[in-house]
Amino acid sequence: MTILGIESSCDETAAAVYDGKKMLSNIIASQAVHKTFGGIVPELASRAHHKTITGTVEQALNEAGSCIDDIDAVAVTSGPGLMGSLLVGLCFDKGLSLANKKPLIGIDHMDAHMYANFIDEEPDYPFVCLIVSGGHTRLVYVDEPFQHTILGKTRDDAAGEAFDKIGKILGLPYPGGPEIDQCAQKGNPEFYEFPRSMMNKGFEFSFSGLKTSLLYYSKEKGEQFVQEHLYDICASVSEAITDVLIVKLERAVVKTGVKSVLLAGGVSANSMLRKKAEHLSHKLNVKLFIPKMEYCTDNAAMIAITGYMKAQRGEFDDMGLKPYAKLN
Ligand code: KG4
Ligand code: ZN
């Protein structure tokens, strides 16, 4: 089966083709328009998706050496995400499906981040997955495909959101996550100890306290100090965020006794998190899976592989497929 995947839930218009063995193409059109505003402007995102979606899908088909007749089903993100952005992808995919008589498959964006790990090698079940993106943070236990138990999630900001908000306070360009990562690699993670919330028990996360602490710290120290010590502050912030993520991940692996552990979502591109997760996998003797860099942040390859997995199970949708903004 060959699947065309389309992603438009946030600020990336993406399309990919997967034939069950290989990702034949993976095209991402990022929306630069939001940089000026220091965050995503939903209405501008929908308009940009609308402008680029046809070209992006055409490019994905061309690069895969396919035409629409070679596609067996079309998969699309149905949520969670920005409603206007989701609608553009969904309407486009429904149109493709109707006009070309191809089955339609709705994909949950968070599932897709997780199943991005299946593109190159299939992890064994059961596994624990830490999904850390810009909008959501959750720790799940998965014992069979599409059956997951949520062990914990964030009570306030998502991990990526914390990076982005802190980046903004530090005067870094949007999105702050990759910028802080770059700076942190040149800094001292022990420069300042920012708070780590809810470390001692449970699987829940909270990052808003860290953001507030950084805000007061930077006000107290002043702009010049912050700029002079930017690398050290970024390293200390990254250390605090990744410490919390890794402690919870370790607790989940120990409690469930799984032998496979997965990272997923935009923040899984973070170099410090990847390093700490590798260390954890050696310490607990579990196999670690982290998506390739291009499959960490939003992409359509993850939609295509998840669509493929659903198609294999005979799980298709019809024209009644609806978008949803919030997590299921
Ligand atoms: O999964 P994703 O592309 O979009 C959502 O589904 O939200 O995640 C985007 C998030 C942003 O908050 C971005 O700052 C963060 O992932 N991110 C990173 C890194 N690369 C992307 N955070 C920390 N370090 C990175 N290298
Ligand atoms: Zn995402």
Q: Convert 224-250 into a string of H (helix), E (strand) and C (coil).
A: HHHHHCHHHHHHHHHHHHHHHHHHHHH
Both structure tokens of 225: 């100090």
Which among 304, 291, 310, 282 is positioned nearest to 131, based on CA atoms? 291
Q: Is 123 in the pocket of ligand 1 (CB under 6 A)?
A: no
Ligand sitting nearest the alpha carbon of 7: 2
Long-range CB contacts for residues 191-194, cutoff 8 Å, separation at least 24: 191/229, 191/232, 191/233, 191/235, 191/236, 192/217, 192/232, 192/233, 192/236, 193/236, 193/240, 194/236, 194/237, 194/239, 194/240
Measured in Å, residue 129 CA sits from the centre of ligand 2 at: 15
Task: Give the separation between CA 267 and CA 3, rounded to whole angstroms.
Answer: 26
Measured in Å, residue 68 CA sits from the centre of ligand 1 at: 32
Strand partners, 264: 131
Q: How far is CA 292 from the centre of its chain?
A: 12
Helix (H) or strand (E) holding 7: strand 3-7
Q: Give yes or no for a contact between 107 and 307, defined as CB atoms under 8 angstroms apart.
A: yes
Q: Is 10 in the pocket of ligand 1 (CB under 6 A)?
A: yes
Q: Is 134 in the pocket of ligand 1 (CB under 6 A)?
A: yes
Measured in Å, residue 267 CA sits from the centre of ligand 1 at: 4
Q: Is 84 in the pocket of ligand 1 (CB under 6 A)?
A: no
Q: Give yes or no for a contact between 115 and 305, defined as CB atoms under 8 angstroms apart.
A: yes
pLDDT tens across the length of the chain (328 residues)? 999 999 999 999 999 999 999 999 999 998 888 888 888 899 999 999 999 999 999 999 999 999 999 999 999 999 999 999 999 999 999 999 999 999 999 999 999 999 999 999 999 999 999 999 999 999 999 999 999 999 999 999 999 999 999 999 999 999 999 999 999 999 999 999 999 999 988 999 999 999 999 999 999 999 999 999 999 999 999 999 999 999 999 999 999 999 999 999 999 999 999 999 999 999 999 999 999 999 999 999 999 999 999 999 999 999 999 999 998 7
Ligand sitting nearest the alpha carbon of 264: 1
Measured in Å, residue 249 CA sits from the centre of ligand 1 at: 18
Q: Give yes or no for a contact between 245 and 237, defined as CB atoms under 8 angstroms apart.
A: no
Q: Is 81 in the pocket of ligand 1 (CB under 6 A)?
A: no
Q: Is 159 in the pocket of ligand 1 (CB under 6 A)?
A: no
Helix (H) or strand (E) holding 312: helix 301-312
Measured in Å, residue 306 CA sits from the centre of ligand 2 at: 14
Sign of CA dihedral 212, 213, 219, 223: negative
Task: List for the chain the helix, strand, coil content (%; round to 5).
Answer: 50, 20, 30
Q: Is 265 in the pocket of ligand 1 (CB under 6 A)?
A: yes
Q: Is 133 in the pocket of ligand 1 (CB under 6 A)?
A: yes
Count CA atoms closer than 13 A to 172's CA, side-chain side: 23
Protein residue closest via CA to atom 16 of ligand 1? 266
52-78 residue pLDDT tens: 999 999 999 999 999 999 999 999 999
Specify the ligand 1 atom closest to the Cα of 176: 14
Both structure tokens of 234: 């970024």
pLDDT value at residue 201: 85
Ligand sitting nearest the alpha carbon of 182: 1
Residue corresponding to tokens 């590798």: 278
